[in-house]
Amino acid sequence: MSHRNARLNERGRQLLVERVCDQGWAVAHAAKAQGVSRQCAHRWINRFRQEGPAGLQERSSRPHHCPRQTPVEVEEAIVATRRQERRGQDWIGPELDVPARTVCRVLRRHGVPYLRECDPLTGQVIRASKTTAVRYERDHPGELVHVDVKKIGKIPDGGGWKAHGRAMGSTAAQKKARIGYDYVHSMVDDHTRLAYSEILPDEKGPTCAGFIRRAAGYFAAHGITRIERVMTDNHFSYRHSHDVGDVMEELGAKHKFIRPHCPWQNGKVERFNRTLQTEWAYRQVFTSNTQRSAALAPWLEHYNTERRHTALGGHAPTSRLSPT
């Protein structure tokens, strides 16, 4: 694959050679026609004359010699010490008289797992990586939706510590006050990233079931009339509630569960929860819980219709919906 700033790809080089060698163009004219310098044109023509068509193919930009590269025997010693001692770079570096940063790079280059992912006694990997090697996106709207609940502390009347500072909760009475939580239920479509949220009093089975039913209605109003799969975590309300099961049957959707303790598998709605906090819940100072609750619907409309989404090439989620 060509360098991202390269003026000529492999086909462009072939065209340059054809114009100069077959059609008799002057090198300067051919270079100007393709927007490159004469030196660049001469270089590709000379490679073609010396090596034939193979000379026009991509070459690695890796240098032929790396005099400052860590010697192979040192890299082998670093990896062996890590596996034997199961210590970090700050210990291995002084032990082998190698900079700790070099130790880190060598370990990453050799694919050695982080210590936090390994058993401290045996060194075997016991914890799954929190990154997904293969990113996916469903082919059409409604093929898969992600559902989750985010618990956010309520705001006392007059504003909380964000409005009045940390001293707001300094007295014993304020520390003992039980303000409670808002449960923000959210559904996100995997293909379009269309999102719907509601603030509800709890996350019990009937509450979750009612939300999924209303969210499906919201999606239907935006052209997603069929939901094939619903992905959730393993919360008791999702796993054992008959109300949730009845809603799945009513929608004709298959209920999919993520692996236990692997929230990144439900990553699209988890990432939406983070956006929800930073751009709605904690974006400005609210003086009451009612004021914050009232701001959710306008923000959600902005998110779906105007906010640029990086996964959608800078477009809003509604840009992927069919006109209705």
- The pLDDT tens digits of the residues spanning 20-38 come to 999 999 999 999 998 999 9
The band of 63, judged by pLDDT with boundaries at 50, 70 and 90, is confident
The pLDDT value recorded for residue 128 is: 63
Give percent of the chain with pLDDT exceeding 90: 56
Provide the token pair at 272. 């939406």
The band of 210, judged by pLDDT with boundaries at 50, 70 and 90, is very high
Partnered with residue 186 across adjacent β-strands are 148, 197
Provide the token pair at 211. 């939300």
Closest CA to 194 of 252, 141, 151, 247: 141
Lowest mean pLDDT among 43-57, 70-84, 128-142, 146-160: 128-142
Lowest mean pLDDT among 55-69, 194-208, 226-240, 292-306: 55-69
The band of 68, judged by pLDDT with boundaries at 50, 70 and 90, is confident
Closest CA to 47 of 89, 92, 14, 83: 14
Residue 132 predicted with pLDDT over 70: no
The pLDDT value recorded for residue 312 is: 86
Residues 101 and 188 grouped into a single domain:
no
Residue 137 predicted with pLDDT over 90: no
Residues 215 and 112 grouped into a single domain:
no
Q: Is 220 in contact with 196 (CB distance < 8 Å)? A: no
Is 131 inside a domain boundary?
A: no
What is the Cα 192 distance to its own chain's centre? 15
The band of 311, judged by pLDDT with boundaries at 50, 70 and 90, is confident
Is 308 inside a domain boundary?
A: yes
Lowest mean pLDDT among 57-61, 223-227, 267-271, 295-299: 57-61
pTM, entire model:
0.59
Is 125 inside a domain boundary?
A: no
| Structural domain boundaries enclosing 213 | 145-320
d(CA 278, CA 267): 17
Is 66 inside a domain boundary?
A: no
Residue with tokens 């969210």: 215
Residue 1 predicted with pLDDT over 60: no
The pLDDT value recorded for residue 170 is: 56
The pLDDT value recorded for residue 3 is: 60
Could you read off the pLDDT of 150-167 as tens digits, one per residue?
999 888 877 766 666 665
The band of 148, judged by pLDDT with boundaries at 50, 70 and 90, is very high
Q: CB under 8 Å to 264, separation ≥6 — which residues?
A: 130, 131, 132, 270
The pLDDT value recorded for residue 69 is: 87
Residues 185 and 313 grouped into a single domain:
yes
For the chain, how many structural domains are there in total? 3
Closest CA to 126 of 108, 114, 134: 114
The pLDDT value recorded for residue 180 is: 87
Residue 93 predicted with pLDDT over 80: yes
Residues 96 and 245 grouped into a single domain:
no
Residues 52 and 101 grouped into a single domain:
no
Residues 166 and 301 grouped into a single domain:
yes
Residues 311 and 230 grouped into a single domain:
yes
Residues 194 and 304 grouped into a single domain:
yes
Residues 23 and 95 grouped into a single domain:
no
The band of 206, judged by pLDDT with boundaries at 50, 70 and 90, is very high
Residues 216 and 161 grouped into a single domain:
yes
Residues 211 and 79 grouped into a single domain:
no
Could you read off the pLDDT of 75-89 as tens digits, one per residue?
999 999 999 888 889
The pLDDT value recorded for residue 156 is: 81
Task: Name the DSSP class of 307.
Answer: S
The full DSSP string for 13-82 is HHHHHIIIIIS---HHHHHHHTT--HHHHHHHHHHHHHHGGGGGS----S-S--TTSPPHHHHHHHHHHH
Residue 258 predicted with pLDDT over 70: yes
Ramachandran quadrant class, 158 (left: phi over 0; alpha: psi -120 to 50; beta: rest): left
Residues 108 and 211 grouped into a single domain:
no
Average pLDDT over residues 228-242: 93
